[in-house]
Amino acid sequence: MNRGMTDKLLADASRCGLFHLNAEQRTALVPQATAAGLRLHSLDLSKCRSPGSCLQTIGEILSFPDWYGANLDALVDCLCDPDWQASGGDILMLAGVDRLRKADRKGTDKLLEALSAASAECSDNGRPLWILVDRPLSGVPPFPER
């Protein structure tokens, strides 16, 4: 992974989305996220028993405001609210989504769709929001190298 290219890639809001990031890429990404001015959040969702419990866990880890209702619409609102989020952008590194998807594919796919929608909305507003999963999932492309 080319450091300069990745810094530039990470800062490019138009390239953001939902991707799979392998272990080697994750290790290289951490210092590059800082260099790109992005906040990096590691979210271990492996103990979540349902997409609903994931929504609660995400809200707790990211310290969402009191009005967060732990539902998909509130998730998108919190991730995209320019008054609440930092202007530099964010990377959400999600672990354990594969386990959750095996237990509740439909609910997990809705959660991933909401996260992807939040990334697209942030992109439209010029703020990077990367959603990165730690295991390959069908329908989730690999992280772009360039």
Q: Which residues of 89-124 are buried (b: 16+ CB within 10 A; e: fewer)?
A: bbbbbbbbbbebbeebeebbeebbebbbbbbbebbe
Q: Which one, of 106, 55, 105, lies nearest residue 77 by Cα?
A: 55
pLDDT at 132: 97
Alpha-carbon distances, residue 11 vs 57, 62, 99 (angstroms): 27, 20, 30
pLDDT at 35 over 70: yes
pLDDT of 67-117, one tens digit each? 999 999 999 999 998 776 666 899 999 999 999 999 999 999 999 999 999
Q: Are 20 and 135 spatial neighbours (Cβ–Cβ below 8 Å)? A: yes
What is the pTM for the complete model shown?
0.92
CATH of span 3-133: 3.30.370.10
Would you give the DSSP letter of residue 142? B
Q: Which one, of 118, 95, 94, 91, lies nearest residue 34 by Cα?
A: 91
pLDDT at 133: 97
Three-state SS for 42? Answer: strand
pLDDT at 86: 67
Residues 6+ apart with CB under 8 A from 15: 9, 144
For 143, list phi and psi in degrees, rounded to 5.
-60, 135
pLDDT of 106-138, one tens digit each? 999 999 999 999 999 999 999 999 999 999 999
